[in-house]
Amino acid sequence: MKLYETYTNGTAMIEANSDWDVAGTGIGGALAAMTGYDIKTIGISDNEVNVGIFAQKDSKIAKNPDDPESWKGSTWLYPSGTTAQPLLVAYLDSIGLTLDDVKSVNMDISSALTAAIGGEGDGLGVWNAIAYEAEDQGFVRIADTGSMDIPAPCATYATNEALKNKRELVTTAYAVFYKTWEWCKENEENYQLATEYYLENCEDEGVACNEEIAERIMEVAQVPTFDENVKMMTDEVDDYAGKYTSRKLSTAENDFLYLLDFFIEEQKYTEEDRNKILDNKMIDPEIALEAQKLLEEAKK
């Protein structure tokens, strides 16, 4: 029996939800899970600051990224429905352009990098190890979610079957995940071991990586501690857009809405999807609170 399974992208993983109990992806998979499959987000596993857009090194864009004329008619390779898309739009907006001024080609990030290395496109949108590999291949980083201050939450979620029939196990695994990250950051020895595990995981998944890239990834990882995650799932804040007045929202809900509203404007989702997520509390703090109680009892 496999305890861990990898998928080529978040949507493919969500479609195969009968094969797993607990999983994690970025915004694309998370929104598909909550709106199309009634799978609840139970935690935030990362806030990706290394989602970047990169230009071909000899392109006009690389030489003068603030010049709108250099962007017009350019071709960009990235997976639509992911944070790479609002990032590209945000940068285009900063120089007075829109997505209509460029050509977008939908590709997963590994294929986008391979195609770009082969000379296709003027730029690409990628993240994590592949973003650093793009830099090492000579592509010029134009902007990223960190520099543009765009929230890019990655979600942890569990199937309804797991929440109903394996809830204690899900809660324990949940606590172990966040406490393991705290262990990774405790000292240099643990940190180095975690970096080695990350590199090993990339090799298992066939992701281009090396020791230096793995170290760079670990340096920018924004995985919350256990307490930080509980706070993100439970803190009450005002809806950033002022569209939802039935109750206060959590920080996690607000971060997801920022991106969901972008995709609603792009007609990939609807206001009904937005209301479904909020009305049905698809970003659910209950497992976080149960895990908190579990750890408190373990200390007694």
Q: What's the CATH number where 137 sits? A: 3.40.190.10
CA distance 6 to 2: 11
Based on the structure, what is the number of domains in the chain?
2
- Domain shared by 134 and 266, yes or no: no
Residue 67: CB atoms within 10 Å:
12
- Domain shared by 171 and 92, yes or no: no
- Domain shared by 127 and 262, yes or no: no
- Average pLDDT of span 41-65: 95
- Domain shared by 263 and 164, yes or no: yes
Q: Of residues 97 and 26, which shows the higher confidence score? A: 97
- Domain shared by 37 and 174, yes or no: yes
Q: Which domain holds residue 132?
A: 52-144
Domain membership flag for residue 134: yes
Computed over its alpha carbons, how large is the radius of gyration of the chain?
20
**Domain end: 91, 110, 144, which one?**
144
- Domain shared by 120 and 39, yes or no: no
- Domain shared by 159 and 252, yes or no: yes
Domain membership flag for residue 200: no
Domain membership flag for residue 196: no
pTM: 0.87
Which tokens sit at 230?
A: 């509980």
CA distance 116 to 123: 7
- Domain shared by 170 and 42, yes or no: yes
- Average pLDDT of span 107-131: 94
- Domain shared by 169 and 274, yes or no: yes
Q: How confident is the model at residue 147 (pLDDT cuts 50, 70, 90)?
A: very high
Domain membership flag for residue 120: yes
Q: How confident is the model at residue 1 (pLDDT cuts 50, 70, 90)?
A: low
**Domain end: 87, 113, 144, which one?**
144
Q: How confident is the model at residue 33 (pLDDT cuts 50, 70, 90)?
A: very high
- Domain shared by 139 and 113, yes or no: yes
Q: What is the mean pLDDT of the chain?
A: 93
Q: Is the pLDDT at 79 greater than 70, yes or no? A: yes
- Domain shared by 231 and 289, yes or no: yes
- Average pLDDT of span 165-187: 95
**Domain end: 92, 127, 144, which one?**
144
